[in-house]
């Protein structure tokens, strides 16, 4: 987008171009020797801009990197909260801020040095979405610009002051003016790629809730509260935890005044986990009563949050649990996640599409399998905001092929009467209903869909207001405050093909 001068005296910012044709002054990369230490920049802003750079340049994940950078910088609790808001808020609204910056600078974002653009995005967030004083936001961001590209400080100052002279509401109107069509307008003002807006519209319309699209898009940009899972049956004493209260839906869910501290002090028996993820694991473990000696499998287990819930449930019911993960590093995360549960869980590294049931210790098949399938992650954009800028429509076709292959492998590995939970953290209908319908056709008459809604509603502490067919459950951020988890329970009928005949 290359807007002209804005109306009402807002004007635009110029700026000298560096030798590479971009607004960078000397073209130096963040982290180079041009970054002189400055007493004028708050530690929270330094952490935030460093994480933004790593997300952009190195494809880092903010949810993994930010806690490490906060600890390394020794931030106070208040500064850590500020750095978190700056980082996540900027990433969520990056598309909108880029359009604002383009209008203020009168040039496309691609023509601005990426490191300087990081600084401008961070400044736009402070000016348009926080209570930070204008002078503080502008002055400190100019100092940050001076660090990453000394000759770009004047350009940054002009752009940020131009942004500050217009209200957030007016900027939304100006950004919307440059779009054509409702989906394009919503994409621009709510900072989503347009293809994601269309996909979410389709998913909502599948449940007769198409009029909730804007509410969902805004929910994607809200900071989610931190939910806790108190692993059941482990004798966790919660009486001394400040602000501890049961959560709304999950029977093992909770909130606390300092949830991170509560989890860290629990020896792995209290975990930070979205309620939707808790319900997905519990839907499998509590779909029917557990018989002692059952064999369970978490097929795509990394990083291990749902595995930990299943481990506690298996321990309580006398079941045995195995976990499979393709990536060795993620398999180690699974082992770490289940360390607080006194159950011997076999963690295997291998391709979930090529299971060796003898190696997994279940030659006759598994009684319950959780397939938390790799997906686009469109249901967790609140927590992983950079994902919206990294995914593309082509990813959906690749992932649905993988999801279908994993479903077939999991269903083949079920013992007769066994139950498979197909779960995604994406509401994209191709990944949910599309994959499920195709897999059921391939399985034929031995596949029986269970009343997943009845199971999940039976778990919930409060009414969930679910829609759609009872065989599946779709949770939503704007309705349930959870990630947009999809859950479907499928049973292999008694008398179906034995697992040994269908898997190695």
Residue tagged 């808020």 (tokens): 89
Query: With the C-alpha atoms ordered 74, 76, 82, 88, is the resulting torsion angle positive or negative?
Result: positive
**Distances in whole angstroms, Cα of residue 86 to Cα of each of 157, 260, 274, 502:** 19, 19, 22, 51
Structure tokens at 106: 């009168």
Closest CA to 494 of 395, 421, 416: 416
* Separation CA 489–CA 75 (nearest Å): 44
Angle, alpha carbons 353-432-459 (nearest 5°): 100
Residues of the binding site for S-adenosyl-L-methionine: 300-306, 325, 351, 372
* Separation CA 53–CA 115 (nearest Å): 7
Task: Quote the radius of gyration of the chain (alpha carbons, Å).
Answer: 25
Residue 23 neighbours by CB under 8 Å, 6+ apart:
15, 16, 17, 105, 107, 111, 112, 113, 116, 152, 155
Active site residues: 425
Compute φ and ψ for 377, nearest 5 degrees: 75, 20
* Separation CA 339–CA 320 (nearest Å): 16
Rounded to 10 deg, the angle between the 182-190 and 213-220 helix axes is: 20
Residue 2 neighbours by CB under 8 Å, 6+ apart:
102, 106, 107, 108
- Alpha helices (H) along 344-392: 387-390
Residues of the binding site: 300-306, 325, 351, 372
**Distances in whole angstroms, Cα of residue 449 to Cα of each of 84, 156, 430:** 42, 58, 18
């Amino acid at each position: 987008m290359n807007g002209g001068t804005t109306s009402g005296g807002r004007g635009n910012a110029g700026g000298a171009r560096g030798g590479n044709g971009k607004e960078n002054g000397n073209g130096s990369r963040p982290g180079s020797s041009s970054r002189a230490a400055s007493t004028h920049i708050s530690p929270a802003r330094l952490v935030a801009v460093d994480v933004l750079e790593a997300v952009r340049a190195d494809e880092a994940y903010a949810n993994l990197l930010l806690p490490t950078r906060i600890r390394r910088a020794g931030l106070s609790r208040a500064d850590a909260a500020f750095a978190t808001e700056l980082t996540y808020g900027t990433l969520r609204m990056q598309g909108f801020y880029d359009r604002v910056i383009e209008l203020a600078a009168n040039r496309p974002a691609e023509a601005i040095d990426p490191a300087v653009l990081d600084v401008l995005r961070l400044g736009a967030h402070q000016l348009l979405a926080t209570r930070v004083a204008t002078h503080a936001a502008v002055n400190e961001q100019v100092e940050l610009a001076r660090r990453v590209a000394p000759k770009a400080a004047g350009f940054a100052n002009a752009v940020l002051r131009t942004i500050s002279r217009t209200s957030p509401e007016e900027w939304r109107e100006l950004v919307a003016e440059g779009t054509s069509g409702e989906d394009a307008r919503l994409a621009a003002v709510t900072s989503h790629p347009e293809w994601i807006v269309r996909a979410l519209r389709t998913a909502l319309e599948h449940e007769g809730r198409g009029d909730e699209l804007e509410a969902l898009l805004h929910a994607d940009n809200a900071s989610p509260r931190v939910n806790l899972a108190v692993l059941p049956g482990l004798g966790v004493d919660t009486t001394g935890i400040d602000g501890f209260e049961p959560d709304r839906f999950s029977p093992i869910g909770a909130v606390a005044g300092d949830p991170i501290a509560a989890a860290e002090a629990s020896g792995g028996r209290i975990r930070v986990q979205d309620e939707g993820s808790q319900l997905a694991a519990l839907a499998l473990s509590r779909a029917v009563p557990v018989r002692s000696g059952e064999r369970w499998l978490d097929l795509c287990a990394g990083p291990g949050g749902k595995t930990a819930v299943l481990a506690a449930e298996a321990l309580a019911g006398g079941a045995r649990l195995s976990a499979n993960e393709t990536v060795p590093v993620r398999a180690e995360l699974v082992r770490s996640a289940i360390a607080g549960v006194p159950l011997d869980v076999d963690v295997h590294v291998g391709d979930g599409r090529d299971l060796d049931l003898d190696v997994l210790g279940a030659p006759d098949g598994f009684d319950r399998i959780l397939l938390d399938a790799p997906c686009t992650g469109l249901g967790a954009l609140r927590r992983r905001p950079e994902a919206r800028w990294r995914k593309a429509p082509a990813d959906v076709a690749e992932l649905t092929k993988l999801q279908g292959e994993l479903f077939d492998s999991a269903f083949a590995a079920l013992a007769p009467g066994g139950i498979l939970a197909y779960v995604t953290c994406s509401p994209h209908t191709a990944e949910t209903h599309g994959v499920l319908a195709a897999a059921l056709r391939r399985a034929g008459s031995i596949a029986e869909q269970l009343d997943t809604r009845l199971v999940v509603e039976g778990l919930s502490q409060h009414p969930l207001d679910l829609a759609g067919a009872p065989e599946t459950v779709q949770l939503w951020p704007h309705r349930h405050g959870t990630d947009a988890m999809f859950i479907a329970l499928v049973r292999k009928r008694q008398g179906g093909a034995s697992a040994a005949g269908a898997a190695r």
